[in-house]
């Protein structure tokens, strides 16, 4: 059962009580990520996420994690393009402690200059590690190929040059302007006493004030039909092919999920069966949606040996063309409704996943979809929905490509799948 309310300072709270568990998941999600940055401070949202763990007025960095881990709990955080989330999972008897630590981190972090210098080294090593990962490089250059100079193209980790420029005043200024109760949500899922929980939340978060309400503004994203590639001396060629997608919370998003399930969502999908099982060209291949506020992308990923790339791309292109021309059968529609319902229901067995889903829904839509509403939405997917997604997302074909691997012949590869796509930039991975 969901319950939504606001504290006096405007902070939205969503709780979901689950009787049969003895755990609690508590998260604070803020509508701030790399999309909220400009180039000069790109990476600051992720760096601030790190710094919230480095000490407050009453806890040092060790005590923040130790107090939760000493009672068997887990504490972590993540930064994405559009949100940052700090969260704790613990036994429900420690809900007071979990809320206290998260509130302390968000309201009372010190941003000590010595800790900033140490964490700069940590994050730069994280960037170095990402640069050694072809999948991470592929994700970053694909965003550049799709969105050009729009902040959606900015890497979440930022650049080493930017990281070295961060100091106490710059971090505090950004937190002051981008972290506020009105653009944040506290989400709690598990077993708790509702009346006691409200008292705890008001006591811990009630003092969180902001001088101004922060209202995130995003430039209208325009998708660029471009290609980017990075030559790296590795064994495989990593490929991302982008199709048009649907924005976050679009009415037809479940139909897109269903079609992705058929096209590249698992071991029985068309791409997996054709490219891996029948042709034996790769180990991994799948398609997935990437929804953002106001825009969405649909992706096809695979990693192949360079000598098999042309065959793999030809097979992918033919499977895409066949899906658009023939669509899906009634039997496939009904089977995959059950599949995505099962995936959704199985996901609900985790208090953490429910906490994340509730937080994001309330933060970005200001409402919560009940489980019954989601199941009903899946059950009522029909041919009109499928045809809409086929026409909108799949029929336009591949709109952008990204490659990471050895000695990439980009024009040759692009001509296999979409002759209209031309390479517009070469990205050689460099340390900045």
Name the residues annotated as catalytic. Answer: 49
Number of Cβ atoms within 10 Å of the Cβ of 58: 9
Give the span between the Cα atoms of 115 and 51, in whole angstroms: 8
Number of Cβ atoms within 10 Å of the Cβ of 244: 19
Strands 400-405 and 227-231: parallel
Residue linked to tokens 């429900």? 92
How far does Cα 88 stand from its chain's mean position?
Answer: 19
Q: How many CA atoms lie within 13 A of 11 on its CB side?
A: 27
Strands 12-17 and 184-190: parallel
Phi, psi of 60 (to 5 degrees): -85, 180
Give the span between the Cα atoms of 186 and 86, in whole angstroms: 10
């Amino acid at each position: 059962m969901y319950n939504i309310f606001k504290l006096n300072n405007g902070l939205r709270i969503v709780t979901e009580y689950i009787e049969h568990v003895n755990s609690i998941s508590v998260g604070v999600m803020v509508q701030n990520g790399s999309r909220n940055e400009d180039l000069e401070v790109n990476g600051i949202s992720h760096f601030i996420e790190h710094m919230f763990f480095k000490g407050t007025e009453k806890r040092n960095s060790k005590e923040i994690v130790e107090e939760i881990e000493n009672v068997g709990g887990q504490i972590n955080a993540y930064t994405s393009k559009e949100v940052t989330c700090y969260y704790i999972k613990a036994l429900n008897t420690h809900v007071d402690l979990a809320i206290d630590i998260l509130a302390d981190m968000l309201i009372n972090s010190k941003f000590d200059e010595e800790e900033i210098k140490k964490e700069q080294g940590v994050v730069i090593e994280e960037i170095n590690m990402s640069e050694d990962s072809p999948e991470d490089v592929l994700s970053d250059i694909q965003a550049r190929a799709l969105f050009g100079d729009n902040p959606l193209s900015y890497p979440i980790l930022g650049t080493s040059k930017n990281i070295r420029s961060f100091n106490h005043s710059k971090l505090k200024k950004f937190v002051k302007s981008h972290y506020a109760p009105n653009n944040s949500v506290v989400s709690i899922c598990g077993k708790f006493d509702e009346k006691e929980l409200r008292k705890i939340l008001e006591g811990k978060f009630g003092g969180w004030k902001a001088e101004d309400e922060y209202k995130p503004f995003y430039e209208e994203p325009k998708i660029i039909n471009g290609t980017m590639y990075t030559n790296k001396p590795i064994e495989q060629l990593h490929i991302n092919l982008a199709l048009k997608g649907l924005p976050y919370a679009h009415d037809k998003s479940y139909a897109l999920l269903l079609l992705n399930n058929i096209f590249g969502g698992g071991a029985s999908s068309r791409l997996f069966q054709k490219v891996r099982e029948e042709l034996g060209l790769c180990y991994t291949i799948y398609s997935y949606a990437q929804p953002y506020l106001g825009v969405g992308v649909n992706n096809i990923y695979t990693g192949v040996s360079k000598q098999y790339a042309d065959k793999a791309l030809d097979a992918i292109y033919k499977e895409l063309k066949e899906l658009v021309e023939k669509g899906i059968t009634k039997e496939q529609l009904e089977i995959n409704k059950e599949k995505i319902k099962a995936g959704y229901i199985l996901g609900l067995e985790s208090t953490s996943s429910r906490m994340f889903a509730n937080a994001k829904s309330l933060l970005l839509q200001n409402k919560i979809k009940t489980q019954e509403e989601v199941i009903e939405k899946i059950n009522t997917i029909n041919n009109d929905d499928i045809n809409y997604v086929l026409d909108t997302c799949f029929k336009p074909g591949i709109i952008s490509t990204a490659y990471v691997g050895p000695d990439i012949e980009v024009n040759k590869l692009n001509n296999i799948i979409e002759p209209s796509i031309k390479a517009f930039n070469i990205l050689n991975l460099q340390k900045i």
